[in-house]
A and B are shown apart, each in its own frame.
Chain A
Amino acid sequence: MEKKQNKRPSGFTRIFGRMFLGNAVEHTVENERYDSPSKLAVKRFFRKPIAVTALVILLAMILFVLIGPILMPIDLSYTETLHTNVAPNLSMMSLPSEMKDSPVSITSQGSFSLGIDKDGGVHTWGYYYSFSKNPAKDVMNIPEKVQNANIVMGAAGTDHCIVIAEDGTIYGWGENDNAQYGKDGRMLGEFPQPDELINGKIDVENVEQLICGDQMTAILMKDGTLYAWGNAMAKCMNLASIYKTIKTDNIKLTKVCFTTTNLFGITEDGKFITGSNKQYDFYQGKNTQEYIGNRKVVDIASTGDSITLLLEDSELISLGSIAQGPQIPEGETIESVSAGARHFVLTTKSGKAYAWGNGALNQTDVPKALTKEGSVDTVFASGFQNYAFKDGQLVEKWGLRGYLMGTDDLGRDMLNRVVNGGRMTMTIGAVAVIVSSIIGIIVGCISGYFGGWVDLLLMRVTEIFSAIPFLPFALVLSAILQGSSLQEDTRIFIIMIILGLLSWTGLAKLVRGQILAEREKEFVVAAQSMGIKESRIAFKHILPNVVSVIIVSLTLDFATCMLTESSLSYLGFGVKLPRPTWGNMLDGCRNSIVIQHFWWRWIFPALFLAITVICINIIGDTLRDILDPKSEVEK
């Protein structure tokens, strides 16, 4: 019933229209007749669904590369070694629901996280790429016996996990080529997992701390015994000296932490133990130990390359790459410090959270809710994510959710690079087209308008330029630029100009031909016989007829210039890395391994480049069809 009612009025209007305004079809034709050519062209353009779609996509793309870089500015020196070749995913912060109620631990060193819930269950989330393609070595794949056991402690490394069950059994899974767990490793370092921990059991009650680093694991017992194993040769170079210190000085460690290359600890009487490592021996111009003096170190936390010590008088000492601590109001007492892979988080007695360090992936953006008093009591800072709990309940989480387009071989966000690379590619294309169009139009106009020897000379020059083999010559010119000591920005600018200088010939010939043809037409003769000024004829009568050709050529040349830039950059002669363009982002994807396993590294730049160029070409093609009077006649 409703449908019928909807249809009727439209039928009525049609009849009405026919009665008073004539036939509907005729009506539009009449309208067109009185429209100016440009209006007509626009109308006809919007009647083509493919062209309109292309236009919409192109505009969206342009907006994307114009606004994107403002929202996501690029840091050319940025790399993140822990996130190399991460596939597109947004699951890095999706805490399993079982974990939301008083979890035992949440740890992460890289792209995946390991959590132990209060019922002894083990969870992994995030992303891990297993090179060996062996499901047994995939760290996300929790072994069945671990799932069945009641786990009380656990920690995640960069590519392995270690958990301790209630009965004292130690389980490890993930990669173990570097002696991360068990006996299968190739034992690069001299610290294999102790036999008694592989075959025997551990006294769970007595375990003070279980911690994993980059391919390293350490278990600290309440009596000060330290078990540490893994790729000590590369990832824990001071381990032997730490063992020696424990033996000779007869100290009792209460907490340890890993950086990417070393192990550090604090003792029962508040000493900071560094072993043979001298990296963090200086703090604010003084010897670190002297600076600490007699004060006790009560807490220690470390990121990949920096350490924070909490002294008994609530002073924070930040050593290493993260030198600046947070601004904490007077009178606040620090409760504890925890560390992610690149940042630190502290909670105060009054229940506030502060974060500092490298916040490139939003790790340090503490939500507003946590700056109020009494809003938080525990923060699990793990890897690049933070989970804040109050009375065992999850209140907030912040940090890196994941990468929409994955990351490249240096851990850089592909989305960021696609956006910024797009801007570079489009800018180069646009500038090159503008340069080539200016030259082409000027040469074409002068040549067509003046004729005679000027025409002859300019056309010979044009022919010489068009005889230059484009890509090879562009390659040579950029090779020359590379040899010079120019700044990268200047070099890119010169590349734009060169691309423009090499591609104006087509347009010049086109414009010249068009002007020559238009000059001979009757309407020009008529205008001349009416005594209209020469300049007025040129600009009012001839130019509008040439403009359509120019617009079409501009559009199609824009696509060509973008492709040329990409090809040059792809061959390594255009814009250089680390500055991204859609072309040079594909440069590193030439081998089958990348094409096969890291598809996101080539598919996104390729897709964006291809779609943009296709849209521009469709628009240019449609414009040519519309603006070319001949094509209409044929229909």
Chain B
Amino acid sequence: MGKYVLKRLGYVLVVFLILSLLMYLVYAMIPYDRARAEVEQYKTIYKNEPEKFEAKYQELRKELGLDQNVFVRYLGWIGVVPINGQYQGLLQGDFGYSYTYDRPVVELLSEPMRNTVFINIIATIIALGITIPLGIFCATHRGGKRDTFIQTATIVGYSIPTFIMAIVFIWLLAILLREGIEAISGLDLNIFPVSGMKTPGSAYTGIQKFLDELHYMALPIIVMTVGSLGGMTRYVRASMTEALSMDCIRTARAKGLREKIVVYSHAWRNALIPIITLVIGWFLSIFSGSIMIENIFGLNGMGQLYIGSLNAKDFEVVLLIQMFYVIIGLLGNLVVDIAYGLADPRVRVNK
């Protein structure tokens, strides 16, 4: 097992290096010159001296390492090759610098990541709480009218893109519900705020702060939960169906066990294995956040930071987040495989 994990880790490293080179090359293709942008501020100083301005530009290029070959720059970014006589790369713990925020990228990430993880964990827990019973119900009533209905509904659920679902929920919950309450009771309650992270100007602490954030994130969380219901229900149903068709279930039924025990004690345990791996994979992906949801609701999360940086041409941030996504994806696969092996002794991971 240890050997297998090591082997896989080595493999992850190789893939990461290949991908990071690929990404770096892609970013190098973006027609954007950081030195040109930086030198703009000297334009007034060297107004009548174009040679000095040009010299300054070249100096900046050198300083930023832009005069080097793209592969050298890549190695410099990793931290194997010195840029301007200094080792400053990922290996040295230098993850880049954001020019729009004027801060190291790492400092920039903590707040968005906290928010992203927060909404993702809540949404996943709620979604699991709904989908597991629903999936079991569908599997045990397979082929029935209710199952067919739920199956069709789940197709509808995973077919509707997040942004449409978000618009519909904003319309239903933030507009119609608000108008309805206002019409009935005369109170203008903002139950589901459409954008923002907290009450503007508030300085809550502790539990009050948490509740306030929950209040503001309620709508995104609902949309996320509903958005993931379709796929997860189908997954639970599929693994439960698989488990119910096992020989041990037939044996259990032949023994005359009660259906409840057969389903929840025998079948469910077998169905749990793929579901656990799914959940683990899910929990890893929550760090990467949801670009669409954060963009629509204006949440300060990883996805929003990514889009914002992309629009602001702040490519060191973009590159780092992208590499973060890659690592999360690769490690996620690895963890799922290992978890599978641990949960189900029949699976030989090193095969």
Contacts and interface: CB of A to CB of B under 8 A. Distances in A.
Given A475-B307, A596-B175, A618-B152, A602 B292 contact: no
B26 to A, nearest CB: 6
Most buried by A among B161, B162, B170, B330: B161
B170 A592 contact: yes
A468 B19 contact: yes
A617 B155 contact: yes
Contact of A617 (B15, B32, B158): B158
Interface in B107-162: 143, 148, 151-152, 155-156, 158-162
Interface in A578-625: 586, 589-590, 592, 595-596, 599, 602, 606, 609-610, 613-614, 616-618, 621
Interface in B293-309: 295-296, 306-307
A571 B310 CA distance: 12
A596 B170 CA distance: 9
A469 B310 contact: no
Most buried by A among B155, B194, B322, B333: B155
B161 A484 contact: no
Most buried by A among B163, B306, B325, B326: B163
Contact of A50 (B152, B160, B167, B168): B152
B29 interface: yes
A480 B167 CA distance: 29
Contacts of B19: 464, 467-468
Given A479-B30, A483-B31, A617-B155, A566 B307 contact: no
Contacts of A621: 151, 155
A586 B291 contact: no
A635 B318 CA distance: 50
Interface in A365-411: none
B326 A589 contact: no
Given A559-B159, A609-B161, A613-B159, A589 B291 contact: no
B307 A586 contact: no
A563 interface: yes
Contacts of A473: 23, 322
B117 to A, nearest CB: 17
Given A472-B306, A592-B175, A586 B321 contact: no
A614 B32 contact: no
B296 A590 contact: yes
B161 A563 contact: yes
A517 interface: no
A116 B326 CA distance: 70
A472 B325 contact: yes
B45 to A, nearest CB: 28
B318 to A, nearest CB: 7
B310 A476 contact: yes
A463 B325 CA distance: 15
The SS class assigned to the A binding surface is helix
B326 A467 contact: yes
Contact of A595 (B162, B170, B310, B321): B170
Given A571-B291, A571-B307, A592-B174, A609 B322 contact: no
A586 B326 contact: no
B167 A606 contact: yes
A634 interface: yes
Interface of B: 15, 18-19, 23, 26-27, 29-32, 143, 148, 151-152, 155-156, 158-164, 167-168, 170-171, 174-175, 194, 241, 245, 288, 291-292, 295-296, 306-307, 310, 318, 321-322, 325-326, 329-330, 333
A477 interface: yes
23 contacts: A50-B148, A50-B152, A467-B330, A467-B333, A469-B288, A472-B291, A473-B23, A479-B310, A567-B162, A567-B292, A592-B174, A595-B170, A606-B168, A610-B156, A610-B160, A610-B161, A610-B164, A614-B155, A614-B159, A614-B160, A617-B155, A617-B159, A618-B152
Contacts of B329: 467, 469
A617 B70 CA distance: 44
Contacts of B333: 467
A615 B338 CA distance: 37
A634 B238 CA distance: 12
A467 B15 contact: yes
Nearest to B32: A483
Nearest to B152: A50
Interface in A520-576: 559, 563, 566-567, 570-571
Contacts of B310: 475-476, 479
Interface residues of A, number: 42
A586 B318 contact: no
Contacts of A464: 15, 18-19
A455 B209 CA distance: 54
A473 B330 CA distance: 15
B326 A468 contact: yes
A609 B26 CA distance: 32
A15 interface: no
B164 A606 contact: yes
Given A592-B175, A606-B164, A477 B325 contact: no
Given A50-B152, A571-B307, A635-B143, A476 B167 contact: no
Contacts of A596: 171, 175
Contacts of B30: 476, 479-480, 483
Given A477-B26, A483-B30, A484-B31, A472 B322 contact: yes
Contacts of A563: 159, 161
A480 B26 contact: yes
B155 to A, nearest CB: 5
Contacts of A476: 26-27, 30, 310, 318, 322
B175 A595 contact: yes
A563 B296 CA distance: 16
A471 interface: yes
Contacts of A460: 15
A602 B166 CA distance: 12
Nearest to A591: B194
A507 B148 CA distance: 27
Most buried by B among A467, A468, A473, A596: A467
A442 B108 CA distance: 43
Nearest to B143: A635
Contacts of A592: 170, 174-175, 194
B167 A589 contact: yes
A570 B174 CA distance: 21
Interface string A467-503: 1110111011101100110000000000000000000
